[in-house]
Amino acid sequence: MKEQLTTAFSNLTDKLLGWLDAIIQNIPNLILAAIVLISAYYIAKYVNKLTHRLVSKRVKQESISSIIARISAVVVVLLGLFLALGILDLSKTLTSLLTGAGVAGLVIGLALQGTLSNTIAGIVISFRKKIQIGNWVETNGYSGEIIDINLKDFTLKEADNNMVVIPNKMILENPLKNYSLTTRMRVFIECGVGYESDLELVEQLTKDTIANTFDQIENPDDVEFYYTEFGDSSINYLCRFWIDAESMLEKLKAKTKAIIEIKKAYDNEGINIPFPIRTLQFDNKLNVKSSDLQEAFSNN
């Protein structure tokens, strides 16, 4: 038993001494590898900033610049890691790392299909010229200003200042309405006037009011006006006109302003905007004799 313990202890001592000799012999290589890794880290940070600055001059989309800058930084770090392993003469380890990375990448890819699909969708969205940070869009039942586009999600700020985070995959697979692609929007106003109103006067007054309210409308004839139906209590119409706007909020403000001015103009001219009413009128008098009632009850 003592001989076995002595042999094991001597083997352990030989191993430790061998490792110590190997460490002492490779101290210069370890120091050089550490310097390479640290340098790669700081170079990656500098490359990240430099790439972002250079790409931003050519590409207006902030998301594209950020993605390219991050990818370039990762490439620099990986190059530093490979150089450090080469300095330490760990070529076999490097080969094993590459092989293991391939297998691990396949396993991770199968396990994280949703995450990878969001990442790929984020890259695709970032390169779309019609989707940029600052645009006012409507998608997946939400509308607001695009605040951020990254490799994971798509962030909107709604009109009530709430933030909505949507996975990139849903943005890519669903329709998206971008209000900022054009500088003009059409406003729709539906209303009704009383049957006693002068319809020609109502039409001209509405057109004049809209033209006088908005500076971008030079001619009242540019305002579209159509009577649509004989309603239950009013003759209804549809009014349409164009305004200079790039967001849904500006459109709502313009519609509000138009409704206020139209109401003032109608009040000044005595034009009635009726609300739904129901009138019950009994013109026929029912003459029912008591004998007829008695006969009816007796038959029942």
How many CB atoms are closer than 10 A to CB 144?
23
Q: How far is Cα 148 from Cα 138, in angstroms, rounded to an integer?
A: 15
The reported pLDDT for the residue numbered 180 is: 80
- Give 293's pLDDT tier (boundaries 50, 70, 90): very low
CATH architecture of 125-178: Roll (2.30)
Backbone angles phi and psi of 54, in degrees to 5: -70, -40
Backbone angles phi and psi of 164, in degrees to 5: -120, 120
Q: Where are the alpha helices (DSSP H) in the chain?
A: 2-25, 27-58, 62-87, 91-111, 113-126, 168-173, 199-213, 248-269, 290-299
Q: Which helix (H) or strand (E) holds 146?
A: strand 142-149
Contact (CB, 8 A) for 76 and 44? yes
Contact (CB, 8 A) for 173 and 165? no
Q: How far is Cα 28 from Cα 87, in angstroms, rounded to an integer?
A: 10
Cβ neighbours of residue 29 under 8 Å, at least 6 residues apart? 87, 88, 89
Q: Which of 52-56, 262-266, 275-279: highest mean pLDDT?
A: 262-266
* Lowest-confidence region among 15-24, 143-152, 216-225: 15-24
Q: Which long-range contacts (CB under 8 A, 24 or more apart) does 208-211 make?
A: 208/265, 209/258, 209/261, 209/262, 209/265, 210/239, 210/241, 210/258, 210/261, 210/262
Contact (CB, 8 A) for 169 and 117? yes
- Give 191's pLDDT tier (boundaries 50, 70, 90): very high
* CATH code reported for the domain at 184-269: 3.30.70.100
- Give 111's pLDDT tier (boundaries 50, 70, 90): very low
The better pLDDT of the pair 123, 255 is held by 255
- Domain map of the chain by residue range? 2-111, 125-178, 184-269
The reported pLDDT for the residue numbered 104 is: 59
**Which pair of tokens denotes residue 133?**
């940070």
